């Protein structure tokens, strides 16, 4: 009976580690996509130190889980006590780090509010100054998502105009409608847009547009994170039980 329980635990351990292996592969792939994505999201990440750091943390965590799942599978099948102990300690550290990151994300969630982004936009945005990383990033976001400001064109009423701009009133060029939503896309009517004709402007705020675009993926990422934490917890329990059962 004891041998049957040990054998069952060994294969359950292998199964849980296989899921950790798959979760690590998903995080690794997602981290690589965020960093190399050519559609403009890369520029958003590069301009925000928190997002930039988060992308590389996700990449590192994915690589560690990928390796850890592989080692856990080997330790379970070979019944190697040293490898199982190393696996338990390593996955415990990762579990605590992920739990800490989730708590910090909850504590600092106010930094992702509409009011925070609106204040930052009015404070740092320099319109068509592409030498400024913040302004260039916002321009890329507004062009890519066909939106304007955080809440709409009214966000730019307090933003200073460029001294050499003769047409631009309030709405920046990045808010003008284009035939193709990219920097190379032709304007529908640039002059009319810059002089305030609303039907040639993107009037919807970027906060709402991006939130709607990524809402499904946010819930999916949250569910994936909870699933990974649960799997890691069970894997640690099985690893310690298997460690104690091996003669």
Query: Both 43 and 30 in a single domain?
Result: yes
Query: Both 104 and 117 in a single domain?
Result: no
Query: Both 53 and 119 in a single domain?
Result: no
Give the C-alpha separation, 209 to 55, whole Å: 22
| Predicted pLDDT of residue 120 | 84
Residue 20, in any domain of the structure: yes
Residue 227, in any domain of the structure: no
Residue 190, in any domain of the structure: yes
Query: Both 192 and 125 in a single domain?
Result: yes
Domain around 146:
112-203
Residue 102, in any domain of the structure: yes
Residue 73, in any domain of the structure: yes
Query: pLDDT (tens digit, 0 to 9) for every residue of the chain, 247 residues total?
Result: 456 677 777 787 788 788 878 888 888 887 787 777 655 555 555 555 556 676 777 788 788 888 888 878 888 788 778 878 888 888 788 788 878 877 877 777 666 678 888 888 888 888 777 677 888 888 888 988 889 989 988 888 766 655 544 445 578 888 999 887 777 778 888 888 888 888 889 989 998 888 887 776 767 777 777 887 887 787 788 788 888 877 6
| Predicted pLDDT of residue 166 | 46
Long-range contact pairs involving 135-139 (C-beta distance under 8 Å, separation at least 24) = 136/43, 136/47, 137/43, 137/44, 137/46, 137/47, 137/48, 138/174, 139/172, 139/173, 139/174
Query: Both 140 and 58 in a single domain?
Result: no
| Predicted pLDDT of residue 245 | 76
| Count of C-beta atoms within a 10 Å radius of residue 125 | 22
């Amino acid at each position: 009976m004891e041998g049957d329980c040990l054998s069952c635990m060994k294969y359950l351990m292998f199964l849980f580690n296989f899921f950790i292996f798959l979760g690590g592969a998903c995080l690794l792939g997602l981290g690589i996509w965020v960093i190399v994505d050519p559609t403009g999201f890369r520029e958003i990440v590069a301009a925000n130190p928190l997002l930039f750091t988060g992308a590389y943390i996700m990449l590192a965590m994915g690589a560690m889980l990928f390796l850890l799942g592989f080692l856990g599978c080997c330790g379970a099948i070979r019944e190697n006590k040293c490898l199982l102990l190393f696996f338990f300690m390593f996955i415990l550290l990762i579990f605590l780090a992920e739990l800490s990151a989730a708590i910090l994300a909850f504590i600092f969630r106010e930094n992702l509010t509409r009011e925070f982004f609106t204040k930052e936009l009015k404070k740092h945005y320099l319109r068509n100054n592409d030498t400024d990383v913040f302004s260039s990033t916002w321009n890329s976001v507004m062009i890519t998502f066909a939106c304007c400001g955080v809440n709409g064109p009214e966000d730019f009423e307090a933003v200073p105009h460029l001294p050499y701009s003769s047409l631009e009133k309030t709405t920046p060029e990045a808010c003008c409608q284009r035939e193709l939503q990219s920097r190379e896309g032709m304007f529908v009517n640039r002059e009319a847009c810059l002089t305030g004709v609303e039907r040639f402007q993107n009037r919807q705020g970027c906060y709402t547009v991006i939130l709607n675009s990524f809402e499904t993926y946010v819930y999916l990422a949250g569910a994936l994170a909870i699933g990974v934490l649960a799997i890691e917890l069970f894997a640690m329990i099985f690893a310690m039980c298997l460690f104690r059962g091996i003669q």
